[in-house]
Structure 1
Amino acid sequence: NFVDERDTSDRLLSSLGVHQVAMVPLNIERQTIGVLVIGDKKTGTFTTQDTARLTALAGPTALVVRQIARYEEALNQSDRLEEIATMKTDFVSVVSHELRTPLTSIIGSLSTLQRPELLPPNPNAQELVATAQRQAQRLRTLIEDLLVVSRLDNRALPVRPTAVELTAFLHNTVTSVSVNDRTTVTISADPDVPIIHTDPDHLARIITNLVSNAIRYAEGSTIEIETALSEREVDIRVVDHGPGVPFDRRDRVFEPFTQLEDLQTRHRGGTGLGLSIVAGLAGTLGGRVRYEPTIGGGATFVLTLPIRHNVTRPVDGPDRTDPGKLRNRH
């Protein structure tokens, strides 16, 4: 394992001031991953004790070299994954923007067609216009969800806290949610809950997603919204009496694209983004959300928010997923 290099590398050794070198292979699992080279600037030869020490040193050195190589490989892979994630976020942002622009015109045109003086006299034609309007609104919601997800991933979602009177806010938000005749939404507000300071747009999306999710899985029952004061925080509970969340999916309920039904058998629709957006926005507002089984069957989602949200970054800072900037990027 040891080779005296003085005869073959006199010039190199002389320039280094080395009289002799010894080399020992670095082996791991019968594979040589490198060579440990030791130079001696003193005259003389390596002793048996020297070679024994070098041999003993080769094993730990090989392990260290392999770990360093793995660490560098992991760093390179991490950089690549981060680059891919950025590309994905940019792509979603640009596509969402490009889809939203023509869709706005489509929705506006359909709304115009539903005016009494322009509405087609044929009932079937009227139903077709109404169906197109509903599906266009559904598509717009999906596009907006994708845009919110991309901005949450990129931590580029602005936060603009204002004073919110929670009871009136909940009533107004629930009014905008599409509720069928068989489902009832009730609001039970704690009179001790003060005015909170939070971003009303983000809070409205959270409540809308939670209520829409409850309606989807508990159609025909009563959806209950409750508020309660807890020290310096406010709890908002959305309770339904549907089938609840299967036990094996409760730990993944806030992950993107998680469905509570199997893909082959589900009939309720949805992309699986709603609850992940709820969790992301809750964190953005300085709060959190959790799932609890409803006593007697069903699901309860508890949103906890601070009474006053302190923004830790400029609310009007640059949006790294601004579609206009991305389209002009070279």
Structure 2
Amino acid sequence: MDDVNLSHFLRAFFDQVPAILYIKDADGRYVKINPHCERTFGISDADARGRTDADFFPPELADHFRSNDLMVLETGQTLTFDETAIVNGETKDFLARKFRVRDERNGKYYVCGISTEVTRLKRSEQELAAANAEAERASRAKSQFLAAISHDMRQPIQAASLFLGVLEGRIDDSKAREVLDRVRSSIDAVHGMLGDLLDLSRLDAELIEPTRKPVPIGAILQSLHAEFAPQAELKGLTLRCVPCHHDVATDPDLLNRILRNLLANAVAHTASGRVLLGCRRHGQAIRVEVVDTGAGIPMAQRHKIFEEFYQVGNPERDRSRGFGLGLAIVRRIADMLGHPVELRSTEGKGSTFSITIPLAEPRPSVAETPAASIANGAGTGMDQRHQILLVEDDPAVLGAMSMLLEEWGLRVMNAQSLDELGAVLDGVAGSPSLIIADYRLPEGATGADAVALARKRIGGDLPAIIMTGDTAPERLREARANGSHLLHKPVQAEQLRRVVQDILNQARPASAISASKADEWEQGLSRLHHPG
């Protein structure tokens, strides 16, 4: 290898490198600066020699530079600093590295430094931080907005849904029942959209904690097939189910929500042909697929369909087709469970959505309990010895709820405020079996206050249901804290019947109720909100 003059190459590097290079002696006097430093600060190497930072920078900045120099000289370490300097009246940021060098000819130590301007990078970081803060603020505002409109919309729908529950048992005329069914279908559509808002609010609140366990995937698919087959038949579609006989490790309620959204989309967006719901073994996992013969999804829109409020082929924002939250909820729940979601689509031929779920060991068989039988629809009457405290300030909802509970054979004691509740409790004979309270009550009182008052007067851990149209995260946390069941309006009559029946059929001591409520809350809310 040829010998080279190293000092020549170092001098060329010193002169040509696009960074600030300098050498200072132990007293802080400049010995040498490179051309880039000259151009940056507008001073020549000859003028800089023998002078210190105090000659070029404000006192506090010069003292800071000197402190860093002394640290390097004393420790001998190579140190990196974020430094700020004023250049031509403009504040600029630099990333500076300083190290100590000993001159063998005179035995003296010098500080060598290299600085790179990072002003633009720093500003980009600040802008990114500001953008992230704004995004978080917008996300919080979105959650508050969804909670507010959800509450306002749920109140009148709640009353209508409960009155339909009363009428359903009293109408025998076929034409009238057809009208009733159409009204219920319309209410169910709105209920589904509000359910999406609730799911989104719960995800934003980070209150959903998956409970993974072995689940027979075949049973879930068959249940969904039975649920959606009538809808498919009305559209002239063939809905086929190909189940498999394996257990998967997942949260059954959350998985059900994912597959229900995918299947609902497939049926809604397929004009003719068929929809297939099936699963197949894929290594140590099961891949569940929802296949349709719809119009397919254009390539340019595939990365958008999992965004909130985005809908393919609905630029007019036709609200009869929902809010466009279904696939956004699918993606967020799937990510939470660790179940990858994939999309394959061909325009004009259809789409396939798939979700991959790990296999699990088969669950031990469990005999169905009486409560489970009732939840599946067995039995309609309830024990007339049960007394129900009902606290609701909206006269329409109060009237509908009272009629519905009495229709089920229950005795109802009504109150529209905390004062009225106190008077009712003073005159009650025996112990009520359950309190159902709206969350928002007059004079700033809440359903939680009503529950606390009733429990204090009765002297026991009274089972409680709090009903609210407010989807704010605080409501979810508050219900969990006081051991109440939380139902979001509008609650369908059958949903309410199931949870009331379940509570009344529990023969546990009152002291045991609150200990289990917090554990059951998340799973129970999901089950009641999405029946089936």
Instruction: Output the CA distance in 2 between the equivalents of 1:174 and 1:322.
Output: 36
- Does the C-alpha gap of structure 1 residues 126 and 226 become closer, same or farther in structure 2, counting only changes over 3 Å? closer
Partner of 2:322: 270
Shift in Å, 1:293: 2.4
1:180 partner letter: E
Instruction: Output the CA distance in 2 between the equivalents of 1:214 and 1:35.
Output: 55
1:293 aligns with 2:345: yes
Partner of 2:101: none
Q: Secondary structure at the match of 2:118?
A: helix
Instruction: Output the CA distance in 1 between the equivalents of 2:338 and 2:90.
Output: 53
Shift in Å, 1:326: 8.2
Partner of 1:86: 140
- Does the C-alpha gap of structure 1 residues 126 and 258 become closer, same or farther in structure 2, counting only changes over 3 Å? same
Instruction: Output the CA distance in 2 between the equivalents of 1:325 and 1:94.
Output: 17
1:200 aligns with 2:252: yes
1:164 partner letter: V
Partner of 1:302: 354
Unaligned 5+ runs, structure 2: 1-41, 44-53, 64-84, 95-113, 362-470, 480-532
Shift in Å, 1:130: 2.5
Instruction: Output the CA distance in 1 between the equivalents of 2:299 and 2:232.
Output: 28
- Does the C-alpha gap of structure 1 residues 211 and 257 become closer, same or farther in structure 2, counting only changes over 3 Å? same
Shift in Å, 1:244: 0.9
CA RMSD of aligned residues (A): 4.0
Higher relative contact order (CA 8 A, sep 6+): 1
Shift in Å, 1:107: 1.6
Instruction: Output the CA distance in 1 between the equivalents of 2:477 and 2:214.
Output: 32
Shift in Å, 1:248: 1.6
Partner of 1:118: 171
Is residue 93–residue 323 contact of structure 1 (8 Å, CA) maintained in 2?
A: no
1:130 aligns with 2:173: no
Query: 1:240-295 CA deviation, whole Å, 9 max, x = no partner?
Result: 11111112212222222222215149798232211221111211222011111269
Instruction: Output the CA distance in 1 between the equivalents of 2:337 and 2:93.
Output: 55
Instruction: State the TM-score, normalizing by the size of structure 2.
Output: 0.45
Q: Percent identity?
A: 25
1:26 aligns with 2:77: no
Aligned pairs, number: 277
- Does the C-alpha gap of structure 1 residues 105 and 173 become closer, same or farther in structure 2, counting only changes over 3 Å? farther
Q: Which of 71, 82, 97 does residue 125 from structure 2 map onto?
A: 71
2:87 partner letter: L
2:190 partner letter: L
Q: Larger Rg: 1 or 2?
A: 2
4+ long deviations beyond 6 Å: 265-268
Is residue 201–residue 472 contact of structure 2 (8 Å, CA) maintained in 1?
A: no
Residues 77-86 or 200-209, more deviating: 77-86
Q: Which of 203, 228, 241 does residue 293 from structure 2 map onto?
A: 241
Q: Secondary structure at the match of 1:159?
A: coil
Q: Secondary structure at the match of 1:251?
A: coil
Q: Secondary structure at the match of 1:118?
A: coil
1:220 aligns with 2:272: yes
Is residue 227–residue 235 contact of structure 1 (8 Å, CA) maintained in 2?
A: yes
Instruction: Output the CA distance in 1 between the equivalents of 2:320 and 2:476.
Output: 35
Shift in Å, 1:189: 2.5
Is residue 237–residue 302 contact of structure 1 (8 Å, CA) maintained in 2?
A: yes
Unaligned 5+ runs, structure 1: 7-11, 17-23, 37-56, 310-318
